[in-house]
Chain A
Amino acid sequence: MSVLAMTGLVAIGSFAAGMLGALTGLGGGMIIVPMLTLVFGVDIRYAIGASLISVIATSSGAAAAYVREGYTNIRIGMFLEVATTVGALAGAYIAGLISTSAIAVIFSLVLAYSAYRSFQPREEHSIGGPPDKWATRLRMDGTYPTPQGLQPYTVHAVPTGFSLMFLAGILSGLLGIGSGAVKVLAMDQAMRLPFKVSTTTSNFMIGVTAAASAGVYLHRGYIDPVLAFPVMLGVLAGALTGARVLAGAKVRALRTVFTVVIVFLAVEMAYKGLRGGI
């Protein structure tokens, strides 16, 4: 296939991935790496490099809109970033040591877990209650705008959240994804933040985490500009389009379709990885 034809096809695929990722809230990065490796036969290291770039694009693109709404808790985000950036650097380092087959198998497990998580109902916890002593010391408790005015919330289980974020960072650096599923687990379930706060703060963190790994990938020569450019522009355009049509979309049906696709990709990737085909 010529570079021109491949660029066009990758751009179309990335547009679809970005749009589905925005509509379902699962993120486009989850689907870029399997698409490039399984459909286009791209080496998984180039695929991860291109995916990381697209993760930063969607994160910064969405954050530009989120910032004004006042949900992002920059203190929580920045504190947890210490864990995710250290994790991301470690993950990017590990990626250079283990075989591409092992990376493919780990990727398929994370894909399967994300698909499972997306079917779990996301329940809003009772906000309030006594905060964690770390949260008090680090002045993490905040307020967020609701139709009834500013609503205060308290933050729980900071050490657990911090540890989970370290894991999220490792996965992000190792696999070139945003690790949104693990970040949401840490902030919703462990730290019990309101949805709007955890979603926007997690989005902020995803961009910073991916930037930490992207530096290492750049110097290793994993970021191929000719492959990364249709991925970045496609995912970005798809994510922005997805965010616009979000209001009228049948998100439930889409999420089901997307999850089926992800499960299929996970099985395919595990199979090829175990056979040494990746």
Chain B
Amino acid sequence: MSEPLWRTGRWSDEHVELFVGNLLRWGVIIAAAVTFIGGALFLSLHGGRIADYHVFHGQPNALKSVSDVVANALRLQPEAVIQLGLLLLIATPIARVALSLLAFVKQHDRTYIVVTTVVLVLLLYSLTGAGA
């Protein structure tokens, strides 16, 4: 892995791309691992249950907000651990947008600072549930 950007202070496109590539790769690997662990935990405890997805019930509140998912995942509640893995996955493209914003700030590119901020705000608005 290359030196972290904040240490070298070099924000050439090449450095940013390399860093973004690593961020995405590790984001996906970690998200998949957490999801897998939660899934294995769930199946070992409740694998014999009858599957019922035919009728829509919606998820309980404990699995619907970021803070509740994190709190329940820390208690090793299996469904919350899976949901945490899925949240980490949702976070990877958001992190990529955030990193692009930093790069545009470093490049003093005003137009794209505004454009990227709009996209990032929309993403966070959706994730924090302000829009639900």
Interface, chain A (partner B; CB < 8 A): 1-7, 36, 40-43, 45-46, 53, 56-57, 59-61, 63-65, 67-68, 70, 72, 74-75, 78-79, 81-82, 85-86, 89, 92-93, 138-139, 204, 207-208, 210-216, 218-230, 232-233, 236
Residue of B nearest to A208 (CB): B93
Complex contact A208–B53 (CB within 8 A): no
Complex Cα distance A63/B125, Å?
Answer: 24
Partner among B42, B60, B126 whose Cβ is within 8 Å of the Cβ of A226: B42
Partner of A215, one of B38, B80, B131: B131
Across-interface contacts of A72 in B (CB, < 8 A): 17
- State in angstroms the CA–CA spacing of A7 and B43 once bound together: 9
Is B48 close to A, CB under 8 A?
Answer: yes
The chain B residues found within 8 Å of chain A, CB to CB, are: 13, 17-18, 20-22, 24-25, 27-28, 31-32, 35-36, 38-39, 42-43, 46-51, 53-60, 63-65, 79-80, 82-83, 85-87, 89-94, 96-97, 100, 111-112, 115-116, 118-119, 122-123, 125-129, 131-132
A225 to B119, CA, bound (A): 27
Question: Do A216 and B126 touch (CB < 8 A)?
Answer: yes
Known: A42-B54, A223-B86. A61 touches B28 (CB 8 A): yes
Please give, as numbers and ranges, the residues of chain B lying within 8 Å of A59 by CB-CB distance: 93
- Contact between B63 and A225 (Cβ–Cβ < 8 Å)? yes
Q: Shortest CB–CB separation between residue A92 and chain B, in angstroms?
A: 8
Distance of A233 Cα from B38 Cα, bound (Å)? 12
Which of chain A's residues have a CB closer than 8 A to the CB of B118? 82
